[in-house]
Amino acid sequence: MPALLKTTQIQEPSSATVNLTLDTLGNASFAGMPYGASSFLRNRIINGDMRIDQRNAGASVTPASGAYTLDRWAVEMSQASKFTVQQNAGSVTPPTGFSNYLGITSTSAYTVGASEYFVIGQAVEGFNSADFAWGSASAQTVTLSFWVRSSLTGTFGGTLLSNLAGRNYVFSYTINAANTWEQKTVTITGDTSGTWLTNNGAGVYVRFCIGAGASVVGSAGSWSATVNRSVTGQTSVVGTNGATFYITGVQLEQGSVATPFERRLYGQELALCQRYYTKSYDIGDKPGTQVFNGEFLMQTFANNNLYYAVRYPVTMRTNPTLTFYPGYGAGASPTAGNFWNYGTSANVASATGRTGSTGYSIEKNTGSASVTMGWQHTADAEL
C-alpha cells in the first residue's frame, strides 16, 4: 500500500465530515474509498518522465538550435555542437519510480560569450495553461518540480517565458552533490501583467539552462519584461568537457505545493505527444530508416492517379509539416521527400493532395505502368 502523505477533513454542506487522503503516488481516497484515476490531470508538462522518444528512438544526437530531442523537449542555443542529448545517456539508475531521463553531455570546454545561452525546455500549449489566468488580477500561483543530476555542483536556473518573449521569470536552484539525483521545487507567483496566449499557441515556455553569459542572466524570484535566460551565477555545463546534466520527473502544476509526479498510462502519454509529432514508423524505429513496419503501400493501374488517405492517430495541434521517406524496396535510398516506386525500383518525388490536422491524402500520377508505391511519414505540429 502506498505510504500516507496527508489526510484532510472536508466539511460538506450537509454538515457531514469526509476524510480526504492523499498518498505519495498522488491518489486520493474519501473515507477510505479510493477515488479512481485521481490524478486530476495536474501536470501541464507532457513527457515529463522522458518516456517517449519518437524522433531518435534512444539514439544520441547533436541537435541544432530549435530542434526537438525527446518528445516535446526542444533546445535553443547560441553556438552549435557544444553538447549531445540522449534518452538515458550514461545509463545511470534513474530516481526511484522512474525508468527514463533526458541526458545532456558537454562535448567541449566552451567559454560562453556574454550574450550567449544554452537551454532545453518545453512550450506548454495555451489551451493547457489558460486556467493559470496570467495577465489578470486572478493570476494563479504554480509550482515547478523535477529531479536533476549533474557531474557539476553549484547554482543552476531557468526561466518561465510568455509567447513572443514579453514576460520573463527567472528561477534558481542548487545542485549540492555531484552525480546524485536531487529533487527540486520552485513555487512561482502568477504574473498579473503581460499577454498570455490561451489558444493552440504557446501559452508558457519552461526552460532549463546549462550555460548563459553575463548579459542574459539576472536575479531570481520576480516577473519582468527583461528577457533573461537564467540566474546570475549559472553553472556552465557546456564549459566543462564531458560534464553531464540529467533531468526527469518534470511537473508544472497549479498551486503552491509540489504534489507527487502525475503518472499517466504510457498510451495516454504517447497520445499527448502525438498531438505535436507523430510518425508512421514503429515507436522504436527512427524516421529515415528502412523498415517494413508502418510502411504504406498503394498499387495503381496504368494511366491512373494514385489516391490514398491517411489518418493520424490523434488530432494534431494544427496542420502539420509532412516529411515523406521511401518504403522498404531493395536498393531504396532513405532520402526525405520521396516515395519508393516498386515497379521501377527507384525513388520518386512525394506528392500530397489535401492536408489537415486529422490526416492527409496522396494524389499522384504514376504514368503508363501499373506500379506499387511505398512510403513512410512524419508529421510535425510542434509549437
The predicted pLDDT at position 35 comes to 39
- As a whole number, the mean pLDDT across the chain is 90
Q: What is the tens place of the pLDDT at every residue in 232-247?
A: 999 999 999 999 999 9
Please state, in angstroms and rounded to a whole number, the distance separating the CA atoms of residues 176 and 184: 11
pLDDT at residue 2 above 50?
Answer: no
pLDDT at residue 10 above 50?
Answer: no
Three-state secondary-structure class, residue 165:
helix
Note the maximum CA span of the chain: 81
The predicted pLDDT at position 22 comes to 58
As a whole number, mean pLDDT of residues 280-301 equals 90
Q: How far is CA 318 from CA 128, 298, 381, in A?
A: 15, 27, 6
The predicted pLDDT at position 194 comes to 94
The predicted pLDDT at position 185 comes to 98
Which range is least confidently modeled, 164-168, 193-197, 204-208, 300-304?
300-304
- Cell output for 37: 484515476
Q: Which CATH superfamily is domain 74-274 in?
A: Galactose-binding domain-like (2.60.120.260)
Confidence of residue 223 (pLDDT cuts 50, 70, 90): very high
Q: Checking DSSP bridges between strand 338-341 and strand 346-349, what pairing results, if any? A: antiparallel
As a whole number, mean pLDDT of residues 121-125 equals 98
Question: Where in the chain are all domains bearing CATH 2.60.120.260?
Answer: 74-274
The predicted pLDDT at position 23 comes to 52
As a whole number, mean pLDDT of residues 74-84 equals 98
Three-state secondary-structure class, residue 358:
coil
Residue with cell 510535425: 380
How open is the CA angle 148-151-153, to the nearest 5 degrees?
75
pLDDT at residue 381 above 90?
Answer: yes
pLDDT at residue 1 above 70?
Answer: no
pLDDT at residue 29 above 50?
Answer: no
Which range is least confidently modeled, 110-119, 162-171, 186-195, 278-287?
162-171
| Dihedral of alpha carbons 32, 35, 41, 45, sign | positive
Is 278 within 8 Å of 56 (Cβ atoms)?
A: no
Q: What is the tens place of the pLDDT at every residue in 325-372?
A: 998 876 777 899 999 988 888 898 999 999 999 999 998 877 767 788
Three-state secondary-structure class, residue 184:
strand
pTM for the whole thing? 0.90
